Structure 1
């Protein structure tokens, strides 16, 4: 059975200084596609030599996970859980904020010195109440560590987590999330798995496609019904799609800046704990 597209949302432009930024979720009409909370699409753009790099210095998080896809450029990661890495183009950073930590996402010195192309997708994924205080964790994968396979002729998948077409992604996450990057050549028709009871995340990073008979242009997010089966796509141009699915979380949600909890009191606790240094310091 084919899922239907119920709505298509454009990403809103919301630059951060000189960093080109688009945000398809949340938007004016849609707060979340639970468990998916937030996506920032930075770039694509080319940084000149001797640039200042990315502006994401030390900041706290609690109650959710961040999944960062480095499509172009490089991104360094440092957090108070003792994790540190520099991930390059094609790689992924998966961080479980859980009970709370402070991290920084900055451009490596070599990128600031030399400049170059940059494009990054950062997705926030909610955690259920019984996992919000999980120990913080981080995994950084280079492109060579991510399985790549042909879903069909001219359609290739980079599988970060979960299962697709008999392949398994390397990251085992707390909620059984499936996340991938799909690259399709113009004119190719293909099907993406979408089991019933799972919320689908489908963002057109580059290109245009007909999805279940509806046009999904570049920089647009598609929302689907909950039929069991698959999503039928026809690439009208070469496409790059951020695609995943996860179990929705049927719980109250209160988000405040870098904290995502279930109650206002838990948000207050997060602020107090952070200010008291309980998330750690660099």
Structure 2
């Protein structure tokens, strides 16, 4: 059975009036290759006539973002011409690749009416061979994301990326990442199988879970050894888990602001290209 090596608390790090917990990076853990960064926004309730999410136009290069909308919505727009509003239960997948500018704000309706908001954004690294790949964006509503009901309906697995016992997920990953959100009712149990050479991403969004005998509470990230391939997870109460696994890239990671590359020189080039307008225009 896989052993929990260490449990890392997410750090409270609000952004303006947006409640935010950062699970990666923190003082106790830098990243879980190739999972680089996780911000957990909310849960909170916005009053009517609010300013919404504060993420106006900004650039990215060399990585991917996966955004999970648990409550509320996100209005996405980027310099490649993509626009969408994704509602609760939906997921956005954006490959920054060679570079783009995007904004993630709230819809006009949400800013006018207010409501519940809870959103997670996960950054995935790209290997050196794909750092400069063409940018890509796809946003899917809840209805377009396949799900499986397990343990007599006490566990619901949303298939975000990869495959689950032959069931294909909603998104294709450049590097074979498995990614799921898993909803548990009290007592719900699921057995997860992970290749020995993969790193596990295990973040408890809500509730309390028991993973191979170790209790992991909400707003905590569990780090695992590579001593087995089986992980039995049981919920003590209503719980939500962000679960993933992937083979580590084992490449240098140099990140600065919104750019993730392999060398400092490439970071400098990214800033230079951005200043020169090579990330597309923003109107």
TM-score (ref. length: structure 1)? 0.98
Instruction: Quote the offset at 1:187 in angstroms.
Output: 1.6
Matches of 2:206 and 2:28, distance apart in 1 = 23
Instruction: Quote the offset at 1:247 in angstroms.
Output: 1.5
Matches of 1:156 and 1:195, distance apart in 2 = 22
Give the aligned partner of residue 147 of structure 2.
Answer: 148
| Deviation sequence 1:193-226 (CA, Å, 0-9, x none) | 2111111111000000111111100110001111
Give the aligned partner of residue 29 of structure 2.
Answer: 30
Instruction: Quote the offset at 1:105 in angstroms.
Output: 0.2
Count of aligned positions: 281
Contact 1:54–1:105 (8 Å) recurs in 2: yes
Contact 1:50–1:114 (8 Å) recurs in 2: yes
Matches of 2:151 and 2:280, distance apart in 1 = 47
Which shifted more, 3-12 or 146-155?
146-155
Matches of 1:76 and 1:152, distance apart in 2 = 35
Which shifted more, 37-46 or 183-192?
183-192
Give the aligned partner of residue 205 of structure 2.
Answer: 205
Give the aligned partner of residue 162 of structure 2.
Answer: 162
Matches of 2:148 and 2:189, distance apart in 1 = 16
Give the aligned partner of residue 253 of structure 2.
Answer: 253
1:168-183 aligned within 5 A: 168-183=168-183
Instruction: Quote the offset at 1:151 in angstroms.
Output: 3.0
| Deviation sequence 1:46-85 (CA, Å, 0-9, x none) | 0000000000000000000000000001101100111111
Matches of 2:86 and 2:57, distance apart in 1 = 18
| Deviation sequence 1:17-51 (CA, Å, 0-9, x none) | 10000011111121100000000000000000000
- Unmatched tracts of structure 1, length 5 or more: none
Give the aligned partner of residue 11 of structure 2.
Answer: 12
Contact 1:23–1:39 (8 Å) recurs in 2: yes
Matches of 1:256 and 1:68, distance apart in 2 = 20
Give the aligned partner of residue 91 of structure 2.
Answer: 92
Give the aligned partner of residue 226 of structure 1.
Answer: 226
SS at the partner of 1:81? coil
Contact 1:254–1:260 (8 Å) recurs in 2: yes
Give the aligned partner of residue 242 of structure 1.
Answer: 242
Matches of 2:254 and 2:95, distance apart in 1 = 18
Give the aligned partner of residue 42 of structure 1.
Answer: 41
Matches of 2:165 and 2:156, distance apart in 1 = 11
Instruction: Quote the offset at 1:190 in angstroms.
Output: 2.1
TM-score (ref. length: structure 2)? 0.97
Matches of 2:101 and 2:76, distance apart in 1 = 11
SS at the partner of 1:266? helix
Matches of 2:96 and 2:247, distance apart in 1 = 19
Matches of 1:35 and 1:69, distance apart in 2 = 18
Matches of 2:234 and 2:164, distance apart in 1 = 19
Contact 1:63–1:97 (8 Å) recurs in 2: yes
Contact 1:101–1:136 (8 Å) recurs in 2: yes
SS at the partner of 2:175? coil
